[in-house]
A and B are shown apart, each in its own frame.
Chain A
Amino acid sequence: LIGQQDIKNFFLKK
């Protein structure tokens, strides 16, 4: 099974 990661996990909130 392949899961899709959330793009927000990679960036910081400003």
Chain B
Amino acid sequence: MFEAKLTEGLILKKIVESIKDIVTDVNIDISPSGISLQAMDSSHVALVSLNLSMDGFEHYRADTNMVLGVSIANLAKVMKLADNNDQITLQADQEATHLKIIFENPKTERTTEFNLNLITIDSEHLAIPETEYSSVVTINSGEFSKICKELFSLSETVQITTNTDYVQFSVEGEVGSGQVRLGHNDSEKKEDQTILEVSESVQQQFAIRYLNMFNKASTLSSFTRLCLHQEQPLVVEFKIDNLGVLKYFLAPKISD
């Protein structure tokens, strides 16, 4: 038996919106301590990893580990039934064939229920090695979204360079070349801060198209954390207050 109730259902709605363009069918892993999922996009360029702790739920019960295979496209359709102020409850029996999703609005007394059919997904579960990232950049999520969006109109690829003084996003395309450079900024206004933690400089290239997809999660968190290490995938991390973390891994491009 699994049951989890999230008071701020909007968070779940936003999570589904933030991953639905990247992954299609996903195994959701339920454990007594929380909910997690890991999935790659169809072209194996990016990987999504979500971890939600039971502590963030108003009510949480999972007697055993369970795997719920879900079509994210269909889950997104069901989530459209939820009002932004709804509480969301997820329920599944042992050996379940469907996931029951309940939306409740205590103010308007409206309740919506949907039984989403589960599917069997044969997906690879990958082990992500512990990595000590040599460059970690914490940046306002709205600002990072805007930089990626605007640079994408100029080039498909961005080169990210870090050093102790700045992080630089540079592009080169038919239009020309240029860069956005952000220095360490620990101003009093927290939302303006850019925090650089660089032990070793990194220079890598990435497909901006994917960064734009990841940035849909910027509504979940005021800050985006970029973790970089030469020869390793970029991690774009969004912390979800009191609940968990949504991470996207993106393989770097290499010059032939």
The answer to whether A and B belong to the same complex is yes
Query: A1-14 vs B: 1/0 string, CB under 8 Å?
Result: 11111111111111
**Are A7 and B256 interface neighbours, CB within 8 A?**
no
Q: Is the interface of B mostly helix, strand, loop or mixed?
A: strand
**Are A6 and B251 interface neighbours, CB within 8 A?**
yes
From known contacts A12-B126, A14-B125, infer whether A2 and B44 are also in contact, taking CB-CB under 8 Å: no
**Are A11 and B129 interface neighbours, CB within 8 A?**
yes
* Cβ-based interface call for B211 (8 A): no
Task: Say which residue of B40, B129, B250, B252 sits within 8 Å of A8 (CB atoms).
Answer: B40
Task: Say which residue of A10, A12, A14 sits within 8 Å of B233 (CB atoms).
Answer: A10
Most A C-beta atoms less than 10 A away, residue of B47, B126, B128, B207: B126
* Cβ-based interface call for B67 (8 A): no
**Least CB separation from A11: chain B residue:** B126
**Are A4 and B124 interface neighbours, CB within 8 A?**
no
Task: Say which residue of A1, A7, A13 sits within 8 Å of B250 (CB atoms).
Answer: A7
**Are B255 and A4 interface neighbours, CB within 8 A?**
no
**A13: B residues at CB distance < 8 A:** 124-127
Task: Say which residue of A2, A4, A11, A14 sits within 8 Å of B45 (CB atoms).
Answer: A4
Q: For the complex, what is the distance from the CA of A1 to the CA of B125, rounded to whole Å?
A: 31
**Are B127 and A7 interface neighbours, CB within 8 A?**
no
Q: For the complex, what is the distance from the CA of A10 to the CA of B131, rounded to whole Å?
A: 11
Q: List 27 A-B pairs, Cβ < 8 Å.
A: A2-B205, A2-B253, A2-B255, A2-B256, A3-B253, A3-B255, A3-B256, A4-B45, A4-B251, A5-B251, A5-B253, A6-B251, A7-B44, A7-B47, A7-B233, A7-B249, A9-B251, A10-B232, A10-B233, A11-B47, A11-B129, A12-B126, A12-B127, A13-B124, A13-B125, A14-B125, A14-B126
